[in-house]
Structure 1
Amino acid sequence: MIAIQPRDDIIDSGGYVDGPWPFTHPGTKNTPLQVTALVLSLGYFIFDMCWCVYMGTEGPVMLAHHTLSMMGMVLILWLGESGIESCAVLFGSEITNPLLQVRWFLRRLGRYEGLLGDAVDLLFVLLFVAMRILVGGHMLRCELASPRPRPVVKAGGVAMYALSWVFMVDIARFAYRKASSRYRCWQERHKLSNGHDGKVD
C-alpha cells in the first residue's frame, strides 16, 4: 500500500499522479500532461496568430492577447515550472471560444437575430465574467500571494488579467448596446400591441 504524503511538488510513487490544485500549489514543476497541453496550445496559437495577421480579421487587442499567450507558454516550457496555473489560465481563457464559434455559425446561417443568438451572447458574457474576471482574479491573488512562482511569471499573470479587463470593457459595451436595442424593439412592439388593442372599429 502506498502512503500519500503531503507535498509541495509532484510525487510519483510508482504511478503517474497529475496535479496539483492551481489555487494552492502555483509554481510547481511541470508534469508531462501539462507540457503536452502547453505544446499543443502553443501550436494552435501560432497557427491562429498567422491566420489573424494574414487575413487581417483581428484588432490590436486580440493580437496582443495571442502574443502574450505565446510568450507565456514558451516561458513556462523553458522554466519547467508553473505549468499547472498556466493550464488553468488557458482553460479559463478559452472556455468561451466554442460560444464564439456558435455565434459565427449562427450569423452565417442567418439565425443569429433571435432567441438563440441572444442566449449564446448572454451565456458568453456570463461565462466570461465568471471565468476570466472572478475566477481569474482569485487565481491571480493566489499566484501573487504564493512565494513559489517566479516574479516574471507573476508579472505575466498580471498582464493577462489586465488584458482580460480590456476585453471586459469591450464586452460590456457590446452587451449594453444589444440590451438597449432589444429593449427599444420590445417597447415598439408593446406600443403597437396597445395601439391595436385600443383601436375602435
Structure 2
Amino acid sequence: MNFLVWAVISWTVAFILVRKIFSKRSFNFCNRIVSTLHASLAVTLCSLTVEDWGCPVCPLASKSSPSQMKTLAVTLGYLIYDLICCLFDNHVNIDNIVHHLVSILGIGAGLVYERCGSEMIMAVWITEISSPFLHMRELLKELGYRDTNLNLAADILFAVIFTLARMVAGPHLTYVTLSADNPLLIKAMAFGLQLVSAFWFYKIARMVRFKLTKRRKSLKET
C-alpha cells in the first residue's frame, strides 16, 4: 500500500515538473509526455519480471513475486493519477475512463489476492507496448506536424502494433486467464479489458482507413 501511494505521488510530481518545463504547451501535451514515460518504464519493468519468454504467462494462477507486485503497483499508481487527469481535461473520453476503471479494478484485485502475477504482467506489457506510438501521434499534432508523412507513419505504426498486441496476443492472454484457476473478479476484468480493446480496434481501423483515403485524394489532386 505504501508503495502504491508513493507511485501515485511520483507520477503526480512528474506531471508537475513536465508542466513547468513545457509551460507553453497544453495540459494534454504534458500529460501525454508523462504517459509515454510510464509506458516505456512499464514495458521495461514487465520484461524484466518475465520468468520464461518461451511461456511468458507461466506459471499460471500462481502467487505473484515481489518484483511483479512492485511493477503492478507502479502501473496502478499511474492509472489512478491518469484517471484524475482525465477528469480535469476539457475533453472527457468515456471509453478511456472505462478502460482506466477496468484496469484499476483488475490490477487492484491482483495486488489484493497476490496472485495472477504472470498474467497481469503480460496484460500490462500488451496494453502498454503501443502506448508510446499512440501519444506520439498527438504530440506531433501539437508540434505542428498534423497531416504530414511523419504523422501518418506514426498512425500506421501505432495501428499495426496495437493490432498485433491487443487483437492477436490479447485474446490468447484472455483465454488462458479465463481457463486458469483465477479469481472470478480477475477473469471478469480480463474479459472486460479485451472488449474495450476490440472497441478501440474498430475505431483505429476506421481512423487508418480515413487517413489513407484522405492521403490518396490529396495525392490525386496534386
TM-score bucket of the superposed structures, by smaller chain: 0.7 to 0.9
**What is the TM-score when the length of structure 1 is the normalising length?**
0.80
Residues 1:85 and 2:105 are matched in the alignment? no
1:42 aligns with 2:61: no
Q: Distance in 1 between matches of 2:140 and 2:82?
A: 21
Is the CA contact 1:49–1:66 (under 8 Å) kept in the aligned structure 2? yes
Distance 1:178 1:65 in 2: 25
1:95 to 123, 129, 150: 129
Q: Distance in 1 between matches of 2:89 and 2:134?
A: 18
C-alpha displacement of 1:181: 0.6
- Match for residue 5 of structure 1? none
Return the letter of the residue paired with 1:154.
K
What residue is the counterpart of 2:37 in the other structure?
none
C-alpha deviation, 1:24, in angstroms:
4.1
Q: How far, CA to CA, are the matches of 2:92 and 2:61 in structure 1?
A: 32
| Structure with greater helix percent | 2
Distance 1:58 1:118 in 2: 25
2:51 maps to 1:19? yes
1:31 alignment counterpart = 65
Structure 2 matches for 1:143-158, cutoff 5 A? 143-146=177-180, 148-158=181-191
Instruction: Classify the secondary structure of the residue corresponding to 1:110.
Output: helix
Write out per-residue CA displacement over residues 163-192 of structure 1, whole angstroms, 9 at most, x where no aligned residue: 101111111111111111111112222xxx
Per-residue deviation at 1:145?
Answer: 2.7
Structure 1 residues 56-102: Cα deviation after superposition (integer angstroms, max 9, x where no partner): 33311000000111111110000110011111111111111111222
Distance in 2 (alpha carbons) for counterparts of 1:70 and 1:131: 20
Distance 1:136 1:18 in 2: 17
What is aligned with 1:62? 96
How many residue pairs match? The answer is 172
What is residue 168 of structure 1 aligned with on the other side? 201
SS in 1 for 2:133: helix
Task: Please give the root-mean-square deviation of Cα atoms over the aligned residues, in Å.
Answer: 1.7
Question: What's the counterpart of residue 123 of structure 1?
Answer: 157
**Separation in 2 of the partners of 1:18 and 1:56?**
38
Equivalent-residue separation in structure 2 for 1:23 and 1:94 (angstroms): 16
CA contact (8 A) 1:132 1:164 kept: yes
CA distance in 2, matches of 1:58, 1:166: 17
Query: What fraction of aligned residue pairs are identical, expressed as a percent?
Result: 26
1:72 to 84, 99, 106: 106
What CA deviation, in whole Å up to 9, does each residue of 1:6-55 have, x standing for no partner? xxxxxxxxxxx963544443211100111001111111111110011012
User: Equivalents in 1 of 2:67, 2:58: separation in Å?
Assistant: 19
Query: TM-score, normalization: structure 2?
Result: 0.73
Q: Which amino acid aligns with 1:149?
A: N
Question: Which of 208, 213, 218 is the matching residue for 1:180?
Answer: 213
Give secondary structure in 1 for the equivalent of 2:145: coil
Aligned equivalent of 1:4: none
CA contact (8 A) 1:23 1:143 kept: no
Which 4+ residue blocks in structure 1 deviate beyond 6 angstroms?
A: none
